[in-house]
Amino acid sequence: MMLISVIDISRPRGFTLIEMMLVLVVISVMASMLAVSIGDNSQKLLDREARRLQTSLQMVADEAVMQGVEFSLAMGTDTTDETPGYQFLRLDTESLAWLPSVEKLLAFHPLDPNISLQVSLQGANDTEFERQVERLQSLGKQQGPEPLLLLLSSGEMTPFIITLSHSELTNSVRLASDGVSGVERL
């Protein structure tokens, strides 16, 4: 027995205009999502790192006041793979030594290899504050990371300007503090 296939030639083959438009809409939505996710990742990475550092500094400054302890920001490298980054240290009043914090948010944070961080300490007008800063920073002459910025239990911090730069970008992001009014983005 032989099968004969019957073809309906009354209905034309092909896509309708609505089907083609739907495919074009789906393709354009996917392309725009790809462009947004790929576009300017370097700037987004730099902005995200600046926001993280700004938030961390402000949070640690508030924590220093609430707990009545001194904290510091220290720059350094990770001991396992020499990745540059920063961490927060806490002053141990019994041993008068700066110890790395065990809390996750305050622990060592590695920086992306394309991001550099430069810290410029600003002069304070208060000589008593300057003496306290020098005394507390001198405690860092020990093994481990050296304190750079101090976040004191009095609510003061070392006046600074931090510049974050990305190797692929010409612009940079600056964070600053006058020592008493928090950390702001310039």
| Cβ partners under 8 Å of residue 170, min gap 6 | none
Taking the C-alpha atoms of residue 125 and residue 82, their distance in angstroms, rounded to an integer, is 37
| pLDDT above 80 for 15 | no
What's the pLDDT score for residue 4?
60
Q: Are 125 and 80 in contact (CB under 8 A)?
A: no
| pLDDT above 80 for 174 | yes
CA distances, 8 to each of 2, 3, 4, 64 (Å)? 19, 16, 13, 82
**CATH, domain range 43-185:** 3.55.40.10
Domain residue extents for the chain:
43-185
Provide the mean pLDDT of the chain: 78
| pLDDT above 70 for 157 | yes
Measured at the CA of 185, the angle between CA 134 and CA 64, to 5 degrees, comes to: 45
pTM reported for the whole predicted model: 0.69
- What tens digit of pLDDT does each residue of 82-118 get? 778 888 888 888 887 888 877 887 888 888 888 888 8
